[in-house]
Amino acid sequence: MSTSRVIIILVVFACTGFTVLFLKEPVLSLIVPEEDRNWIFSLVYYLLIFPIYNVILLAYGFVFGQFKFFWEFEKRMFSRIGGNKKAS
Task: Tell me which residue of 50, 55, 82, 87 sits closest to 72, measured CA to CA.
Answer: 87
Q: How far is CA 64 from CA 18, 29, 75, 87, in A?
A: 16, 31, 19, 25
User: Three-class SS of residue 65?
Assistant: coil
Model's pTM, two decimal places? 0.79
Given pLDDT bands bounded at 50, 70 and 90, which one contains residue 66?
very high
Give the pLDDT confidence score for residue 17 in this predicted structure: 95
Give the pLDDT confidence score for residue 85 in this predicted structure: 61
